Amino acid sequence: MPGLEPTLTHYLLLAAALLVISLVGIIANRRNVLVLLMAVELVLLSANLNFVAFSAYYNDLSGQVMAMFVLATVAVESAVGLALLILLFRRRGNIAIQTLDVMKG
């Protein structure tokens, strides 16, 4: 169906939607650090989607190379994030975000 053929704009809108979802997820989530982690990764992935889409659009490989690098980075980031999460849990016994307010002002 020619009308349903996804164009660049659709991909970009999808990526933008993903970005918005993840931002809302970060701001609105007040309980669970794990969800926060997922939302943060989603930001990077939405950008990745852009890269791939543009890469295809321009028929230029560098965007996809970038996406690969980003994927690797995302993985490392998750690892660091999870490690911190474990530390927090070990120290506190929970992973609630609201308790992270010792330092303020």
Partner 1 sequence: MTFSLIPLLPELTLLAALSLILLMVALYPSQDGTAAYRLTQLALWVALLALWLTQDIEEPQLIMNGMLLRSTSTLLMQSAALLALSLALLYGRASLIRQKLWQPETFMLFLCSTLGVLAVIGAYHFVPLFVGLELMALPLYAMVALRKDDALSIEAGLKYFFLGALASGFMLYGISLVYGATGSLGLLAIAHLAEGFGSSNTLLLLGLIFIVAGLAFKLSAVPFHMWAPDVYRGAPTLVTLFISTVPKLAVVVLLLRLMSGPLSSLLTEWQTMLALLAVLSMIVGAVVAIAQPNLKRMLAYSTIGHMGYLLLGALVGNTDGSSAAMFYILTYALSNLVAFGVLLSMNETSDGDSKNADGKITLSRGSDLEDFRGLYQRSPIRAVLMTLAMLSLAGVPPLLGFYGKFAVIAVALINGFVWLSIIAILTSVIAAFYYLRVVRLMLFSSRSEGEGEGEILPAIGVIPRTVLTLNGLALLALGLFPSVLLDTTAQALAWTFGLL
Partner 2 sequence: MTMMLALIPLLPLFAALFAGFFGRRVPRHWSHWVCCAAVGISFILSAVVLYKVVVLGFTEINVTLYTWLDLGSTKLTIGFLVDPLSALMMVVVTLVSFLVHVYTIGYMKDDPGYARFFSYIAFFTFSMLMLVMSDNFLQMFFGWEGVGLASYLLIGFWHTRPSATKAGMKAFLMNRVGDFGFIVGIGLLFATLGTLNFGEIFARVDELQGLNVSLWPGLEWSLLTVACIGLFVGAMGKSAQVPLHTWLPDSMEGPTPISALIHAATMVTAGIFMVARMSPVFEGSDTALSLMIIVGATTAISMAVLGLVQNDIKRVVAYSTLSQLGYMTVALGASAYSAAIFHLMTHAFFKALLFLAAGSVIIALHHEQDLRKMGGLRKLMPITYVTSLIGAWALVGLPPFSGFFSKEPIIEAARFATVTGHTYAYWALTLGVFLTACYTFRMIFLAFHGAPRYGASSHGSHKASHKEHHEAPKESPKVVTIPLIVLAVCSVFAGILFITPMLFGDYFGTSIYGNYVAHDAMARLYANWQGVLHYLLHAFQTLPFWLALAGIATAWYFTLSAPTAADRLVKTLGAAYGVLKHHFYIDAFYERVIVRGTHSAASWFVRGGERFWSEGVLVQGTTRLVQWGAQSLRYLQTGYLYHYAFAMVLGLLVLMTWWGIKK
Contact positions vs partner 1 (CB under 8 A): 12, 15, 19, 22, 26, 33, 36-37, 40-41, 43-44, 46-48, 50-51, 53-54, 57-58, 60, 62-63, 65-66, 69-70, 73, 76-77, 80-81, 83-85, 87-88, 90-94, 99-100, 102-105
Which of 30, 42, 46 lies closest to 96 in space, CA to CA? 30
The nearer residue to partner 1, 3 or 90, going by C-beta atoms, is 90
DSSP 3-state assignment of 29? coil
Contacts of 15 (CB under 8 A, 6+ apart): 46, 47, 49, 50, 53
Measured between alpha carbons, how far is residue 14 from residues 32, 62, 86 in Å?
A: 25, 21, 33
CB 54, min distance to partner 1, A: 4
Calculate ∠ Cα 102-74-99, nearest 5°.
15
| 91 binds partner 2, rule: CB under 8 A | no
Taking CB under 8 A as the binding criterion, the range among 7-15, 50-58, 81-89, 97-105 that sits at the site for partner 2 is: 97-105
Contacts with partner 2 by CB under 8 A lie at 23, 26-30, 36, 97-98, 100-105
